[in-house]
Amino acid sequence: MTNLRISAICNCVDKTVVAEIGADHGYITKQLFEQKKIEFAYLTDISKKCLQKAVDNFNNNTQCMFCIGNGLQALKQENIWINNSKKQDINPQQIIIAGMGGNEIIQILSQTEAKAYSNFVLQPQRNVVELRNFLIENNFEILSDTLVKEGKIFYFVIKTKKTDKKSSLTLDELMFGKTNLAQPNKYFLEYLNFEEEKLLNILKNKKVKEIEDKLEKIKQIKLKTHKGE
Ligand SMILES: C[S@@+](CC[C@H](N)C(=O)[O-])C[C@H]1O[C@@H](n2cnc3c(N)ncnc32)[C@H](O)[C@@H]1O
């Protein structure tokens, strides 16, 4: 069965040699091979147990190399690679980091090793605004930033490229993703409705009213006890 999140990530891949960082079972890379979009893949994970799932899943595929390691630090020649391939050089053209929190992705992109790579496909599970902010502050151009829904969960998928100058985003683009604003797809209105309902529910929540009442009370007491300070 097609997984819409994985398909949206694969749609952003336009290079033939990729590295999937935090690959776990490696389903994204698997789909890229099935679609014949890639010729070679480096799969890495910080967890030995997780990477083993990918190794098992690829069943002696000679077009893959696997390595345990933290983020982009795994992509080093001298590391121990689980390898059925004759290929030894580590030269991915596009890096995929998906299914992790935005802050974890920021940590990986902040590693010194990140300087060696230009093309990334990112799919944060949360903290997407922080990730967009990091990207524009660090000379990444956001090429596309789209929304997809798998099951009941919305995911943003960001295709980005390192440049030599700072780009910018409007506040709206920072909050909602530039492609979603320029070419809203069918998920975007659904997402806006979902977020609106979520916020309205929070506002309706009694606890918020209690906090507002308490804040008002503190204001009054301060005026009474510390007037003019
Ligand atoms: C939820 S899985 C995502 C798997 C796959 N990328 C996907 O999106 O379908 C997240 C994986 O990232 C790995 N991970 C978390 N932090 C990492 C890091 N700093 N470096 C490498 N892998 C990491 C975890 O061990 C886990 O296997």
Encode pLDDT of 132-189 as tens digits: 999 999 999 999 999 999 999 999 999 999 999 999 999 999 999 999 999 999 999 9
The domain over range 4-180 is classified in CATH as 3.40.50.150: yes
Ligand 1 neighbour 23 (Cβ under 6 A): yes
Instruction: Look up residue 62 and give its amino acid.
Output: T
Q: Determine how β-strand 94-100 pairs with β-strand 17-21.
A: parallel
The band of 103, judged by pLDDT with boundaries at 50, 70 and 90, is: very high
Ligand 1 neighbour 68 (Cβ under 6 A): no
What's residue 28's pLDDT?
98
What's residue 122's pLDDT?
98
* Ligand 1 centroid from CA 102, angstroms: 12
pLDDT at residue 73 is higher than 70: yes
Q: Is the pTM of this model over 0.85?
A: yes
Beta bridge partners of 218: none
Which atom of ligand 1 lies at the shortest distance from residue 108's CA?
19
Domain boundaries, the chain: 4-180, 185-229
Encode pLDDT of 108-128 as tens digits: 999 999 999 999 999 999 999
3 state SS for 133-196: HHHHHCCEEEEEEEEEEECCEEEEEEEEEECCCCCCCCHHHHHHCHHHHHCCCHHHHHHHHHHH
Encode pLDDT of 81-99 as tens digits: 998 788 778 999 999 999 9
